[in-house]
């Protein structure tokens, strides 16, 4: 199957849903006109379809492997990464003074999603570099920026993120990696890290690791953690890769999917590194990278969903099975109501998830262009929703894509199962979706709910304006928004965080469902409720938005029922 970048969808969302013209009107992005953006997206679409998508199956069937201490990547991946790097796609939103394009994050989000839909395993490499670039831009010294940013932006070098250890997963503060000052401004970093995406490879000259470690006087927990930049090869006086640093790949993980993406166990043995940000400021610096990655990972889920949807659509339009239940049918399974239901729901969810991710990116762009705390609060609130809902959509749509294929979906040769296997980890890495939800009901409500209520006000104001013209779509959305407002107030009234946490995941899902209704209503109003987008919005409002009722009910149950069952009772056979 040939992947096709959904360029018309991006253009529609930019023009009619996320108000890209407002971003382009800012001085910071004045060169990123609509015409320029259209050309950028078109070029990225061709790259994704022609150069990257053909590598997807290779990565699955011929995984990366470790040979004599060096990771060898899947056939064609080096050439694919070179095409991404030479096109400048790694540094799309990076600072121009270091070789970046300085484009809005909204554009980068769309391009990253395209590449993820084409080949998720390969796209993960530039995504990691983009996160490291942003972390260095915000926190590194001028010397480190001058040396590393041009190389990372050009793709000559790549970046990684090293947080997790065998005994310290989500509890980062339990890490045992240590850093000792060398007396010359550098540090010796020692420890082992696991689950390091693209921790080593043969597609670029150098690999630059951002590593969390504790200095000798670092206090326990996250407050005592610092961040260090530790390259695979130490740069020489000319800034080129020199002698090998004292670090190595211990092994590569054997994974359910993403076989083409090498996930390494990394060992640092007094490896030379440099401090990024202040001492004990590691978590703040690392979260800059992680927040960038969380939006990107949400886009990975959406990209996988798009790929799975396209494959399922093609199969449904070609597969002949049984008698057509409708007059003048095609004779394919597309005629059958349940297949039509699955495809319509898949398409409606992909649209909703994509729009939410672009709304988040647009808020980031407006905050960076204006410095507005309101835009910043909106971006922060939308980030966990974009990550969790994007990846949940990826899993749900790719799983449904297997179902559309029937028995053939369970056969690996069709390629339908790969989308599900590849996307499954996106709900786990960069903070599990449960952690995203806990963040939403805890940190993101610490403002008294201001950001949440501002977003709900935005939805209700638009819905109010649409009630007379489009009551069939606006009325259920208005009611859902009011119910979500009431549950938000309930969350704020709970002093015990564990009570909130017990309902955090359904609360996040319900918020995403309401936002999905909002963007579908926008789409319907744009075409004056007469076309295919109105029909798709009708599917969403009738079949997906109603989920908010049970989700909000669960969100308000509390935690007493969960702890009424003892650990022994839960574990009993």
Query: Which residue's structure tokens are 């949940």?
Result: 392
Cα separation, 375 vs 354, whole angstroms: 19
Catalytic residues: 430
Contacts of 563 (CB under 8 A, 6+ apart): none
Query: Which residue's structure tokens are 């996930």?
Result: 263
The 8-class DSSP code of residue 260 comes to T
Burial class (CB within 10 angstroms; exposed 0-12, middle 13-18, buried 19+) of 231: buried
User: For 562, what's the count of Cα atoms within 13 Å in the CB-facing half-sphere?
Assistant: 12
Whole-Å CA distances, 120 to 125, 296, 397 = 9, 11, 15
The beta-strand segments (E) located in 19-118 are: 65-67, 70-72
Whole-Å CA distances, 486 to 378, 457, 467, 497 = 19, 13, 21, 18
Cα separation, 119 vs 3, whole angstroms: 10
User: For 337, what's the count of Cα atoms within 13 Å in the CB-facing half-sphere?
Assistant: 3
The candidate with the shortest Cα–Cα distance to 129, out of 205, 57, 225, 69, is: 205
Euclidean distance between the first and the last CA atom of the chain, given in angstroms as a whole number: 45
Whole-Å CA distances, 495 to 185, 440, 445, 490, 557 = 46, 15, 12, 10, 15
Cα separation, 294 vs 134, whole angstroms: 13
Burial class (CB within 10 angstroms; exposed 0-12, middle 13-18, buried 19+) of 326: exposed
* Cα 331–chain centre separation: 38
Q: Tokens standing for 31? A: 């060169």
The candidate with the shortest Cα–Cα distance to 159, out of 129, 193, 181, is: 129
What is the number of H-type helices and E-type strands within the chain?
21, 11
Whether 252 contacts 66, CB under 8 Å:
yes
Other CB atoms within 10 Å distance of the CB of residue 453 = 16
């Amino acid at each position: 199957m040939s992947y096709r970048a959904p360029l018309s969808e991006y253009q529609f969302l930019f023009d009619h849903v996320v108000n890209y013209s407002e971003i382009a009107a800012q001085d910071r992005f004045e060169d990123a006109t609509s015409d320029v953006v259209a050309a950028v997206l078109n070029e990225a679409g061709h790259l994704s379809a022609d150069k990257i998508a053909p590598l997807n199956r290779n990565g699955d069937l011929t995984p990366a492997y470790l040979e004599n201490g060096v990771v060898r990547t899947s056939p064609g991946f080096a050439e694919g990464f070179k095409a991404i790097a030479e096109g400048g796609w790694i540094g799309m939103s990076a600072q121009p003074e270091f070789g970046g394009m300085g484009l809005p994050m909204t554009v980068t989000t769309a391009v990253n999603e395209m590449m993820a839909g084409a080949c998720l395993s390969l796209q993960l490499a530039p995504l990691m570099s983009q996160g490291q670039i942003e972390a260095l831009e915000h926190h590194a010294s001028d010397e480190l920026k001058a040396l590393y940013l041009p190389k990372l932006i050009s793709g000559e070098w790549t970046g990684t993120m090293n947080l997790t250890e065998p005994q310290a997963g989500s509890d980062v503060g339990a890490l045992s990696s240590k850093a000792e000052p060398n007396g010359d401004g550098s540090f010796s970093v020692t420890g082992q890290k696991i689950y390091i995406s693209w921790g080593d490879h043969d597609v670029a000259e150098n690999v630059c690791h951002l590593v969390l470690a504790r200095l000798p006087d670092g206090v326990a927990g996250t407050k005592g953690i610092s961040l260090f930049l530790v390259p695979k090869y130490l740069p020489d006086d000319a800034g080129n890769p020199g002698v090998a640093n004292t670090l190595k790949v211990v092994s590569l993980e054997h994974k359910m999917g993403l076989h083409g993406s090498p996930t390494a166990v990394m060992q640092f043995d007094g490896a030379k590194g440099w401090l990024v940000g202040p001492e004990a400021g590691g978590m703040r610096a690392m979260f800059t990278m992680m927040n960038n990655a969380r939006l990107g990972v949400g886009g990975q889920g959406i990209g996988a969903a798009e790929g799975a949807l396209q494959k399922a659509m093609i199969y449904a339009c070609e597969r002949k099975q049984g008698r057509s239940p409708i007059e003048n049918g095609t004779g394919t399974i597309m005629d059958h109501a349940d297949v039509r239901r699955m495809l319509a729901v898949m398409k409606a969810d992909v649209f909703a998830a994509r729009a939410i991710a672009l709304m988040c990116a647009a808020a980031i762009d407006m905050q960076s262009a204006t410095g507005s705390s309101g835009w910043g609060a909106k971006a922060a609130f939308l980030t966990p929703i974009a990550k969790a809902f994007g990846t949940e959509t990826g899993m749900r749509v790719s799983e449904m894509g297997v179902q559309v294929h029937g028995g053939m979906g369970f056969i690996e040769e069709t390629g339908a199962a790969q989308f599900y296997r590849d996307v499954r980890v996106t709900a786990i890495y960069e903070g599990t979706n449960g952690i995203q939800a806990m963040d939403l009901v805890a940190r993101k409500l610490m403002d008294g709910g201001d950001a949440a209520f501002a977003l709900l006000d935005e939805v209700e104001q638009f819905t109010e304006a649409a009630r007379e013209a489009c009551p069939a779509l606006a009325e259920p959305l208005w009611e859902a928004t009011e119910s979500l407002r009431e549950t938000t107030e309930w969350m704020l009234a709970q002093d015990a965080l564990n009570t909130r946490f017990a309902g955090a995941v359904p609360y996040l899902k319900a918020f995403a469902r309401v936002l999905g209704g909002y963007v579908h209503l926008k789409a319907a109003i744009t075409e004056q409720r007469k076309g295919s987008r109105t029909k798709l919005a009708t599917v969403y409002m009738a079949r997906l938005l109603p989920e908010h009722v049970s989700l909000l009910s669960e969100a308000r149950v509390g935690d007493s029922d969960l702890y009424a069952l003892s650990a022994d009772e839960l574990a009993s056979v």
